[in-house]
């Protein structure tokens, strides 16, 4: 085989807007009412990714571990800010809880991949470190936000059960044990379903990207397997760490359930 | 309870509550719905805090006591007790989930079941399949397994027909003697409560209007209590 991948030009990218136009046409025709959001999303993704491309090129050129670590810290801070914004009800200190849980998760998962799996030289090889860190942070953020919002819903749903357990002498952690387990289970199901269905229904993004870029499918598959396991671990770790902190916010120092905190939005 | 007051969201729920309840009593707090009866019990179990005043248990302010130990000793049975999606037995020994040292001898379990008049063959059933009266008895047995000194009962007969309600109160009264527990019950079923209680108080619009022997339940002195009784009839 000759040239196995195609370098996409900016003109090509603009041509892909035809697809968005088709989408907008259908949305308008069916009066779904998302035109403005889609337009903003289209423009935002264009601008954000273009900037990200330049930022990555800049950082990759610096070629020193300290810059890579700084970039990962910035990514964690932005993700934690976004996680805070996506909550159904405000949780005091949620930003810092996310910074803490994401830092530990990135340290463990990224560290394992860089040190024991990819065995890169140098260990901070930016072309691997930054995209993988981005996947860990993005996936961790999505999963932990889903879990926290579900946990808040579980509290509202199980209010009587929690009160009963507390009244029998249970600690707050024991009283919300079922709520935490249910929330984490619900958040992990998409990851587990992904493991079950991968390769049967669709080719996942990373693998597709690598194949388009000319990588042997057998190698692309290995990367994809590693990334699927990484996602599962990331989601589990981030959820366990953050829920271990979040539940405390809903109790007073006298071990009383602070119902006013989750009744705000009439969940 | 001395000068206890509580408000929620700027609304006064309980105002200047002064009550003294002695060991072994069956104390009934009567009053209309929304008068603050449940809130009062929740304060005694430590599920909520009060704004001013103090509550003493065995001579010590509950604010300084170990809250988990207090909740075990001052057990509460809710009006609509939470029944977990497990067997009756697992509901009874739910404390095992957080207290690994908690152990209930099979004979003790049967004894408690007998006290609350719950047949043994129900143990293996899904607790959600029980009737309203059986669920109330299950919740009672679950709380009794903590061996409390005080039992707080929130409208234990509210969801039961009068005959079943009578049976439950009779059981509770027997438990008071057998297990030497103090009963504090809130209810708006005055006639039923007056058969078993030894002392009573009226709680109306967050205020204790009168307290005294059981006879006040049928012959109150204050106008507010008389008005409440008239509405109940």
From first to last of its 233 residues, chain B has per-residue pLDDT tens of: 999 999 988 899 999 999 999 999 999 999 998 999 999 999 999 999 999 999 999 999 999 999 999 999 999 999 999 999 999 999 999 999 999 888 888 888 999 998 888 999 999 999 999 998 899 999 999 999 999 999 999 998 887 788 888 888 998 999 899 889 999 999 888 888 889 999 999 999 999 999 999 999 888 889 888 888 888 77
CB atoms within 10 A of CB A203: 15
How many contacts does A have with B, using Cβ atoms within 8 A? 63
Best residue of B74, B82, B128 to probe chain A, by most A CBs closer than 10 Å: B82
Q: How far is B42 from chain A (nearest CA, A)?
A: 9
**Chain A residues closer than 8 Å to B67 by CB:** 254-255
A173, A212: one domain? yes
A147, A96: one domain? yes
**Chain B residues closer than 8 Å to A157 by CB:** none
Q: Domains along chain B?
A: 2-232 (3.40.50.300)
To the nearest 10°, report the CA torsion of A61, A63, A68, A69. Answer: -150
Structure tokens given for B50? 């009060």
Q: Do A167 and B146 touch (CB under 8 A)?
A: no
More confident residue, B193 or A252: A252
| pLDDT given at position A159 | 95
Res. A30: pLDDT tops 50:
yes
| pLDDT given at position B206 | 95
Mean pLDDT of chain A: 91
Instruction: Kindly state the percentage of chain A with pLDDT values over 70.
Output: 97
| pLDDT given at position A267 | 45
| pLDDT given at position A3 | 55
| pLDDT given at position A151 | 97
A30, A153: one domain? no
**Chain B residues closer than 8 Å to A252 by CB:** 49
| pLDDT given at position A5 | 64
Helix, strand, coil fractions of chain B, as percent rounded to 5: 40, 25, 35
Q: How far is A180 from chain B (nearest CA, A)?
A: 14
Best residue of B44, B46, B153 to probe chain A, by most A CBs closer than 10 Å: B46
Alpha helix (H) residue ranges in chain B = 37-44, 67-73, 88-92, 106-115, 132-144, 162-179, 190-194, 223-232
Q: Do A256 and B146 touch (CB under 8 A)?
A: no
| pLDDT given at position A69 | 93
A135, A8: one domain? no
Q: Give me the residue from B68, B82, B84 closest to A169, CB to CB.
A: B68
Cβ atoms A63, A121 nearer than 8 A: no
Q: Do B71 and A163 touch (CB under 8 A)?
A: no
Structure tokens given for A39? 């337009």
3-state secondary structure A11-55: HHHHHCHHHHHHHHHHHHHCCCCCHHHHHHHHHHHHHHHHHHHHH
User: DSSP states of B182-224 as a string?
Assistant: EEEEEES-HHHHHTT-SEEEEEETTEEEEEEEGGGGTS--SHH
**Chain A residues closer than 8 Å to B47 by CB:** 163, 166-167, 256-257
Which residue is associated with the tokens 């200190």? A93
What's the structural domain count of chain A?
2
| pLDDT given at position B130 | 94
3-state secondary structure chain A: CCCCCCCCCHHHHHHCHHHHHHHHHHHHHCCCCCHHHHHHHHHHHHHHHHHHHHHHHHHHHHCCHHHHHHHHHHHHHHHHHHHHHCCCCCCCCHHHHHHHHHHHHHHHHHHHHHHHHCCCCCCCCHHHHHHHHHHHHHHHHHHHHHHHHHHHHHHHHCHHHHHHHHHCCCCHHHHCHHHHHHHHHHHHHHHHHHHHHCCCCCCCHHHHHHHHCCCCHHHHHHHHHHHHHHHHHHHHHHHHHHHHHHHHHHECCCCCECHHHHCCCCC
Q: Do A260 and B49 touch (CB under 8 A)?
A: no
A193, A77: one domain? yes
Residue A14 lies in a domain: yes
Q: How far is A223 from chain B (nearest CA, A)?
A: 41
Residue A111 lies in a domain: yes
Residue B87 DSSP symbol: B
Residue A123 lies in a domain: yes
Q: How far is B75 from chain A (nearest CA, A)?
A: 7
A126, A186: one domain? yes
Looking at A35, A62, A89, the residue that finishes a domain is: A62
Looking at A62, A86, A102, the residue that finishes a domain is: A62
Q: Do A168 and B80 touch (CB under 8 A)?
A: no
| pLDDT given at position A123 | 86
Q: Give me the residue from A160, A168, A252 closest to B95, CB to CB.
A: A168
A45, A160: one domain? no
A35, A104: one domain? no
Question: Which conformational region is residue B216 in: left (phi greater than 0), alpha (psi within -120 to 50 degrees), or beta?
Answer: alpha
Question: Which conformational region is residue B210 in: left (phi greater than 0), alpha (psi within -120 to 50 degrees), or beta?
Answer: beta
**Residue range of the domain that includes A23:** 1-62
Kindly state the average pLDDT of the residues A217-245: 93
Burial bucket for residue A12 (CB in 10 Å: 0-12, 13-18, 19+): exposed
Residue A267 lies in a domain: no
| pLDDT given at position B74 | 97
**Who contacts A213 (Cβ-Cβ below 8 Å, separation ≥6)?**
A5
B80 in A contact zone (CB under 8 Å) = yes
Banded pLDDT at A162 (limits 50, 70, 90): very high
| pLDDT given at position A15 | 94
B9 in A contact zone (CB under 8 Å) = yes
Looking at A62, A87, A112, the residue that finishes a domain is: A62
A4, A123: one domain? no
Strand partners, B60: B57
Q: Give me the residue from B47, B81, B97 closest to A166, CB to CB.
A: B47
Strand bridging mode B182-187 / B26-30: parallel
A111, A233: one domain? yes
Cβ atoms B200, B211 nearer than 8 A: yes
Strand bridging mode B207-213 / B199-204: antiparallel
| pLDDT given at position A4 | 58
A19, A81: one domain? no
Cα dist. A153→A146, A261, B51 in Å?
11, 11, 29
C-alpha triplet B41, B46, B50: angle, nearest 5°: 80
A74, A55: one domain? no
Within 18-57 of B, beta carbons closer than 8 Å to A belong to: 45-49
Show which residues on chain A lie within 8 Å of chain B, measured between beta carbons. 160-161, 163-171, 173-174, 177, 252, 254-257, 260
Kindly state the average pLDDT of the residues A160-168: 97
Res. A2: pLDDT tops 60:
no
**Chain A residues closer than 8 Å to B94 by CB:** 165, 168
Q: Do A168 and B142 touch (CB under 8 A)?
A: yes
Find, among A12, A66, A27, A91, the residue nearest to A262 by Cα.
A91
Q: Do B82 and A174 touch (CB under 8 A)?
A: no
Q: Do B75 and A168 touch (CB under 8 A)?
A: yes
Q: Do A161 and B84 touch (CB under 8 A)?
A: yes
Find, among A73, A34, A262, the residue nearest to A81 by Cα.
A73
**Chain A residues closer than 8 Å to B49 by CB:** 252, 254, 256
Banded pLDDT at A1 (limits 50, 70, 90): very low
């Amino acid at each position: 085989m000759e040239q196995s991948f195609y370098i996409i030009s900016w003109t090509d990218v603009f041509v892909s807007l035809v697809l968005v136009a088709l989408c907008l046409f259908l949305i308008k025709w069916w009066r779904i009412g998302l035109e403005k959001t889609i337009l903003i999303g289209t423009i935002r993704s264009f601008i954000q990714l273009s900037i990200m491309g330049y930022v990555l090129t800049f950082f990759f050129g610096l070629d020193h571990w300290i810059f890579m670590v700084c970039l990962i810290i910035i990514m964690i801070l932005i993700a934690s800010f976004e996680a805070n914004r996506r909550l159904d009800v405000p949780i005091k200190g949620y930003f810092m809880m996310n910074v803490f849980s994401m830092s530990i998760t990135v340290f463990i998962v990224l560290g394992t991949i860089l040190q024991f799996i990819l065995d890169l030289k140098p260990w901070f090889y930016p072309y691997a470190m930054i995209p993988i860190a981005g996947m860990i942070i993005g996936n961790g953020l999505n999963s932990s936000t889903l879990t926290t919002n579900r946990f808040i819903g579980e509290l509202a749903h199980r209010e009587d059960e929690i009160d009963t357990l507390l009244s029998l002498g249970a600690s707050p952690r024991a009283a919300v044990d079922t709520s935490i387990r249910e929330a984490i289970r619900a958040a992990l199901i998409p990851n587990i379903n992904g493991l079950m269905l991968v390769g049967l229904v669709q080719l996942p993004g990373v693998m597709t990207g690598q194949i388009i870029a000319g990588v042997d499918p057998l190698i692309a598959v290995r990367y994809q397997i590693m990334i699927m396991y990484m996602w599962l671990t990331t989601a589990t770790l981030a959820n366990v760490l953050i829920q271990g902190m979040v539940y405390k916010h809903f109790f007073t120092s006298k071990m009383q359930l602070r119902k006013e905190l989750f009744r705000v939005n009439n969940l | 309870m001395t000068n206890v007051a509580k408000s929620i969201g700027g609304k006064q729920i309980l105002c200047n509550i002064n009550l003294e309840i002695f060991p072994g009593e069956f104390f009934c707090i009567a009053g209309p719905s929304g008068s603050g009866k449940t809130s009062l019990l929740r304060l005694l179990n430590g599920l909520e805090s009060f704004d001013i005043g103090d509550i003493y248990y065995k001579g010590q302010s509950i604010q300084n006591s170990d809250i988990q130990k207090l909740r075990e000793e001052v057990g509460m049975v809710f009006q609509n007790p939470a029944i977990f999606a497990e067997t009756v037995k697992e509901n009874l020994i739910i404390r095992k989930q957080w207290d690994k040292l908690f152990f209930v001898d099979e004979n003790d379990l049967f004894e408690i079941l007998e006290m609350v008049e719950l047949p043994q063959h129900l143990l293996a059933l899904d607790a959600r399949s029980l009737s309203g009266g059986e669920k109330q008895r299950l919740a009672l047995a679950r709380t009794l397994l903590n061996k409390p000194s005080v039992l707080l009962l929130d409208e234990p007969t509210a969801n039961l027909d009068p005959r079943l309600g009578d049976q439950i109160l009779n059981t509770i009264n027997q438990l008071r003697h057998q297990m030497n527990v103090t009963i504090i019950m809130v209810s708006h079923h005055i006639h039923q409560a007056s058969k078993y209680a030894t002392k009573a108080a009226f709680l109306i619009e967050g205020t204790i209007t009168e307290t005294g022997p059981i006879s006040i339940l049928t012959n109150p002195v204050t106008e507010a209590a008389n008005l409440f009784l008239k509405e109940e009839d």
